[in-house]
Chains A and B, each alone.
Chain A
Amino acid sequence: MSDSQALLSVRDLSVSFRTRGGLIRAVDGVSFDVLPQQIFGIVGESGSGKSLTILSILNLIGDPNVIIAGSIRFAGQELVGAPAPVMRSIRGNKIAMIFQDPMTALTPVHTIGAQIIEQIRQHRQLSAAAAHQRMLDLLDAVGIPDPRQTFRRYPHELSGGQRQRAVIAMALSCDPALLLADEPTTALDVTVQAQILDLIRDLRIKFGSSIILITHNLGVVAEVADQVAVMYSGRIVEQANTADLFANPSHPYSWGLLGSMPVLDGPRKRLAAIPGLPPALDHRPPGCAFAPRCHFVRAACETTPPPLRAAPHPVACIIDEHERTSLRMEPLEQ
């Protein structure tokens, strides 16, 4: 995975907020690469910094007290600190975004057709008729039935799944090279979620976009992602290709997440829940942020944050790889 191949290359990204109590670092030294046409999953719980990470790619955090540091290179162009007009020409054009709740993500007072056309014409010099046709094609491509009628509808007149399809159609308006999807199925019912995940899988083939998909649901990642990063308290604690991560999870937090997920087959057994709560961002422990909740914590964990170690895939844990493999079996056998 070299920089030259990567479509998006994030290095040492940190997102901090100025507060009365001093700087609070919500994202702390995150690095990852997204390859062309790759679906890159970021998994984490609320407060893990996963949303801030992708919002900072487009500088969309919208808080005057935020400080974004590090480097985000997109197709060779540095996005951190890029001037506003440059960011505007990238937003919705080369990098587009899909949000969690399609009900609130669309402006309630405009028809979905108008909202899609607005984005097309923002970045493309198309006639009104050509933009209209492109909008209909997009609605059709995302599986909206009867686009010629549906484009006249207002967001509240569509079902949740239809709305999310409209949001996706809008994101695809300008054939973006990268799609950022922030919990795109969390607000949806499970059968609709399955439809949307199928659609996202298709999009990569139809539109050739790379996708960063953030979610709290390991199942969603397993279904669609090629590569997965697990975030905890503002840091990536483990990163691997999807098959590897699920076959050989290596960070105790990843084990805990997997153990917390109820399964639908096999014998029913007590969930291997993680005790306690994630640390508050302004009271993050000096060492490994997961140490207070970790079964295998040792003295060294509590002093310095563990670096990402490369083998077999990047894991931020100081415990020796072989020892970890044997430890891993214990909590799961509870």
Chain B
Amino acid sequence: MNNLLEVRDLTKHYTSRHGFAGKRVVRAVNGVSFEIAPGEALGLVGESGCGKSTLGRCIARLYNVTSGSVTFDGTDITRLGGRALRPIRAGLQMIFQDPYASLNPRRRVGEIIAEPLHVHHRGNKAAMTARVASLLSDVGLGPEALTRFPHEFSGGQRQRIGIARALALDPKLIIADEPVSALDVSVQAQIVNLLADLQRDRGLAYLFIAHDLGVVRQIADRVAVMYLGGIVEIGPVASVFGSPAHPYTRALLDAVPVADPALTHRDRIRLAGDPPNPANPPSGCAFHPRCAWATAECRTVKPLLRTLADGRETACHHPLTARVEPADR
């Protein structure tokens, strides 16, 4: 086995009280499987409520898993808790969307970055100080940052601090949950470049969760598209974004506004309505009520992920790629 992370049939259900009608089960993540190789960046895209953040937090074991398994670096971490999880955490770190909320406002930046080193007893004081300084320079901050507090920094700089903290223990995998979506465009580009550089220089693997397809394309080697708790398409970025197989992937790509007025009136498909409620998913294919190509089969039979000729997988009875190139088969 040479995968760094293996997720098998991961399911996360939670119950929500709904009016006087009683409890309802919300299927936030529903039988998701994928793997990440060492040094590989997997993008996870989808709209709000599709379960991508919940999935990320289940893998990081911030949430308990309802069923399925998560194997990290050869260890099954699905049911590990507390102390047993600690050595795993050294290798698997998280970066969050709001860097301000995830940094203790009363501690100096030097202390924040050194904290994981203390918790995991890495080296003596002098070694730690040197390590923190080198981490800061790796993320593009000067040593003067050490003694300052998080509120003295801009959003982009705070995200750099969050990244430095995540890197402190030399993790093998970083789960980044919308790490740049709170930032302005010009700063966002700086952080995207930084994350790409770190991956190249340190052989990091990413699970990169974002709703911005452009940002994902900039970082990820492979990409998984989620809809209503399940993966509908997964494969290399070039093929998934270049010629989407699942109608939802296509709609998602078509919806992205393009900074080129010449392209605005190109032929594209528009989704009507909103994603369905995960507490009450449609029968068959979850996407069928919004799909232009839906057939009777789609309304009744739930499509499973299957591998197409180019190696990517899609959960669609009638993949678009098969339509575009019918002569190939």
Do A and B truly interact?
A: yes
Chain A residues engaging chain B, CB cutoff 8 angstroms: 45-46, 145, 159-162, 189-195, 197-198, 216-223, 242-243, 246, 256-265, 268, 270-275, 277
**Residues of chain B at interface, number, CB under 8 A:** 41
B184 touches A190 (CB 8 A): no
A219 touches B186 (CB 8 A): no
B260 touches A271 (CB 8 A): no
Give Cα A195 to B126, complex, Å: 57
Interface digits, B234-277 against A, CB 8 Å rule (1 contact, 0 not)? 00000001100000000111111111111010000011111000
Flag whether B185 is at the interface (Cβ < 8 A): yes
25 examples of A-B residue contacts, CB within 8 angstroms: A145-B273, A162-B274, A193-B255, A197-B257, A217-B257, A218-B185, A219-B257, A222-B257, A222-B260, A223-B261, A223-B264, A242-B261, A243-B261, A246-B259, A257-B186, A261-B214, A261-B259, A262-B189, A262-B214, A263-B217, A264-B213, A273-B189, A274-B189, A277-B154, A277-B156
Give Cα A220 to B215, complex, Å: 16
Flag whether B115 is at the interface (Cβ < 8 A): no
Residues of A with C-beta under 8 A to B214: 261-264
Residues of A with C-beta under 8 A to B273: 145
Selected from B217, B251, B257, the residue in CB contact (under 8 A) with A223 is: B257
Residues of A with C-beta under 8 A to B295: none
Residues of B with C-beta under 8 A to A274: 186, 189-190
Residues of B with C-beta under 8 A to A218: 185, 259
A246 touches B261 (CB 8 A): yes
Flag whether B48 is at the interface (Cβ < 8 A): yes
Residues of A with C-beta under 8 A to B258: 219, 222-223, 263-264
Residues of B with C-beta under 8 A to A197: 257
B48 touches A189 (CB 8 A): yes
Give Cα A162 to B274, complex, Å: 9
Interface digits, B192-233 against A, CB 8 Å rule (1 contact, 0 not)? 110010000000000000011111011000000000000000
Residues of B with C-beta under 8 A to A260: 185-186, 188-189
Interface majority SS (helix, strand, loop, mixed), chain A: helix
Known contacts A260-B186, A260-B189: does B257 contact A193 (CB below 8 Å)? yes
Selected from A45, A46, A195, A242, the residue in CB contact (under 8 A) with B270 is: A195
Name which residue of chain B comes closest to A261, CB basis.
Answer: B259
A194 touches B48 (CB 8 A): no
What are the 4 tightest A-B residue pairs by CB atom distance, in nearest-first order? A219-B257, A262-B214, A273-B189, A260-B189
Interface majority SS (helix, strand, loop, mixed), chain B: helix
A161 touches B257 (CB 8 A): no
Name which residue of chain B comes closest to A242, CB basis.
Answer: B261
Residue with the greatest number of chain B CB neighbours at <10 A, chosen from A190, A221, A222, A265: A190
Flag whether B187 is at the interface (Cβ < 8 A): yes
* Minimal beta-carbon separation of A228 from chain B (angstroms): 10
* Minimal beta-carbon separation of B252 from chain A (angstroms): 6
* Minimal beta-carbon separation of A281 from chain B (angstroms): 13
Residues of A with C-beta under 8 A to B156: 277
Selected from B251, B259, B262, the residue in CB contact (under 8 A) with A191 is: B251
B260 touches A246 (CB 8 A): yes
B48 touches A270 (CB 8 A): no
* Minimal beta-carbon separation of B163 from chain A (angstroms): 15
Residues of B with C-beta under 8 A to A195: 270-272
Give Cα A82 to B254, complex, Å: 45
Residues of A with C-beta under 8 A to B254: 194
Residues of A with C-beta under 8 A to B190: 273-275
* Minimal beta-carbon separation of A199 from chain B (angstroms): 11
B270 touches A194 (CB 8 A): yes
* Minimal beta-carbon separation of B45 from chain A (angstroms): 9
A277 touches B48 (CB 8 A): no
Other 18 A-B pairs with CB < 8 A, given A262-B212, A270-B193, A274-B189: A45-B184, A45-B185, A46-B184, A145-B273, A159-B274, A190-B252, A191-B251, A219-B258, A222-B258, A222-B259, A222-B260, A261-B185, A261-B214, A262-B192, A263-B258, A270-B196, A277-B154, A277-B187
